[in-house]
Chains A and B, each alone.
Chain A
């Protein structure tokens, strides 16, 4: 039994059988599907996907993302969300009453924001909004970035992986679908949490990862502040 799930390259044939081909595959003949990416073949109950090992984030409606303001226009912020394209945050989609030309007062270049993708069109121009529960400008904390395709592994089934890391390290963690992760807590705890995230990032393609991360967190118990021993 292999430790590693099946690795495929661009052009490799993908067995579809009675599943539906979804992400990362393309039609390469009559009833034949091939991989688009260098990545892992993933079969779920209904779908076949190829998940690349790395890649830029592709915005989808309703995704929660963490972005950095890189430019300010008269009526919108231009935000970098680690994607091929930048995204725009209009002043009307911010929680404050912003007047045109006064955007700098609320969020400046270099500030990070936790926002939601509002829309994306055929030529990949996108807009984000802060008008939803929990969305805000981020203050303090630590930010790390992982490739967007690995985010589902960090979150885990129903949040199991990220919740395990949060609970063991007593940190607050917000995971953007674009791969940017915000952590807050005692410095020693944040370091352990980042170590766990790095482990998931490096071993995302292997099986038995949840147990290994669990063991890693248990081994690090002594370094975590606030554990009642």
Chain B
């Protein structure tokens, strides 16, 4: 059964202060990450975040083509964010649109900050992010999975990039917007950081937040990234922790 909502003003909080999906303002949706899901890619990851289902494949580093786009000093991280036609309620026309191109650009820049691109002159690293099912926060979920896929591919990085969104809904600051909250809320703030240094590598905002609301939102995000980073680490470790036992030792 799918909730179609009301025709009039959407109430996004119930009498107990809980959100539509039963979460408290500071709760994350369930997140699950799996690595090494694609054999042909150099690195891969699959993330489920709330209702989001996103597949990431990493190829490279490899020599950059076309030749004239090569940077003699470093590699490019070329992220391509794409939504499958069936990933949203209303069929999305296949192919890049302006939104996809913007998201591809901000994700490339976020990853470029973490990857040691100066070790690979004249090269490029391709990151393919395929959204199979969208449920708000796809760019952050895609970026979080991309960091895992890059690590799984053996690409040298300064840190594992991790992100989260926050926003304002019915005047209240909440963490990790769901689809309805994103559509009917008052602000959406996706942020991604390099957790060890706290450096911000992605920050965008739709809507309005006062300075206090913004500070509250970013502080919620920073705290949540600790948990999400642990999920990234557990996903990477999973394939290596038990091998000795599997062989019946």
- Tell me whether B121 is interfacial, beta carbon within 8 Å: yes
Residue from the list A4, A7, A28 in contact with B196, Cβ < 8 A: A28
Decide if B156 is an interface residue (CB 8 Å cutoff).
yes
Interface assignment of A122: CB less than 8 Å from any CB of chain B: yes
Which residue on A lies nearest to B232, using beta carbons? A9
Q: Does B1 contact A (CB under 8 A)?
A: no
Q: Are A9 and B236 in contact (CB under 8 A)?
A: yes
Q: How far is the CB of A140 from chain B (nearest CB, A)?
A: 27
A185 at the interface (CB under 8 A from B): no
Task: Say yes or no for A95: interface residue by CB 8 A criterion.
Answer: no
Contacts of A124 in B (CB 8 A): 120-123
Q: How far is the CA of A149 from the CA of B43 in the complex (A)?
A: 15
Chain A neighbourhood of B245, CB < 8 A: 3
Interchain CB contact under 8 A, A10 and B154: no
Identify the closest chain A residue to B122 (Cβ). A123
- Which of A34, A149, A212 contacts B249 (CB under 8 A)? A212
B158-A86 in contact (CB<8A): no
Q: Kindly name the residue among B42, B116, B156, B249 whose own CB sees the greatest number of chain A CB atoms within 10 A.
A: B156
Produce 1/0 per residue, A194-228, CB < 8 A to B: 00000000110110100010000000000000000
Asked whether A54 lies within 8 Å of B156 as measured between CB atoms, the reply is no
- B240 near A11: Cβ-Cβ < 8 Å: no
Q: Are B121 and A122 touching (Cβ within 8 A)?
A: yes
Give the CA-CA distance A200 to B200 in the complex, in Å. 40
A37 to B159, CA, bound (A): 9
Taking the closest CB of chain B, its distance from the CB of A31, in whole angstroms, is 16
**Contacting residues of chain B (94-123) with chain A, CB-CB under 8 angstroms:** 114, 116, 120-123
CB within 8 Å for A37 and B154 given contacts A4-B241, A56-B61: yes
- A-B contacts counted at CB < 8 A amount to 95
Contact A38 B120 (CB under 8 A): no
Q: In the complex, which residue of chain B has the Cβ closest to the Cβ of A216?
A: B247
* B60 contacts A by Cβ under 8 Å: yes
* B62 within 8 Å of A (CB atoms): yes
Taking the complex as formed, is B153 at the interface, i.e. its CB lies under 8 A from any CB of chain A?
yes
C-alpha gap A4/B240 in the complex (Å): 8
Whole-angstrom distance between the Cβ of B123 and the nearest chain A Cβ: 5
Q: Which residues of B contact A85 (CB under 8 A)?
A: 63, 122-123
- Quick one: which of A28-55 are within 8 Å of B by CB? 28, 34, 36-39, 52-55
Q: Is the CB of A11 within 8 A of B243?
A: no
What is the CA–CA distance of A34 and B159 in the complex, to the nearest angstrom? 9
Give A56 to B42 CA distance when docked, in angstroms: 9
Would you call A152 an interface residue if the criterion is a C-beta within 8 Å of the partner chain's C-beta atoms? Answer: no
Report if A9-B244 is in contact (Cβ < 8 Å); known contacts: A36-B116, A123-B72, A124-B122: no
Which of these, A54, A123, A202, contacts B243 with CB under 8 Å? A202
Asked whether any CB of chain A lies closer than 8 Å to the CB of B231, the reply is no
Query: Looking at the complex, which one of B42, B155, B158, B194 makes contact with A26 (CB distance below 8 Å)?
Result: B158
Is the pair A203, B247 in contact by a Cβ cutoff of 8 Å? yes
Q: Are A3 and B156 in contact (CB under 8 A)?
A: no
Task: Verify if B57 is at the interface (C-beta below 8 Å from A).
Answer: no
Chain B residues with CB below 8 A from A55, complex form: 153-155
Interface residues of B in 222-248 (CB under 8 A from A): 233, 236-237, 240-241, 243-245, 247
- Kindly identify which residue among A11, A54, A86 contacts B153, using a CB–CB cutoff of 8 Å: A54
Chain A residues in 8 Å Cβ range of B247: 203, 212
A residues less than 8 Å from B196 (CB atoms) = 11, 28, 34
Given contacts A3-B249, A37-B154, A38-B152, contact A26 B122 (CB under 8 A): no
New A-B contacts (19) at CB < 8 Å, excluding given A4-B243, A36-B158: A3-B244, A3-B249, A7-B237, A10-B156, A10-B157, A11-B196, A26-B116, A28-B196, A39-B154, A53-B154, A55-B154, A84-B60, A86-B63, A124-B123, A202-B243, A206-B243, A206-B244, A208-B249, A212-B247
A-B contact pairs, 28 of them (CB 8 A): A3-B244, A4-B240, A4-B241, A7-B237, A9-B236, A10-B156, A10-B158, A11-B157, A11-B194, A26-B158, A36-B156, A36-B157, A36-B158, A37-B151, A38-B154, A53-B152, A54-B42, A54-B152, A55-B153, A55-B154, A56-B42, A84-B62, A84-B63, A84-B123, A203-B244, A203-B247, A205-B240, A212-B249
List the 3 shortest-distance A-B pairs measured between CB atoms, nearest first. Answer: A55-B154, A11-B159, A36-B156
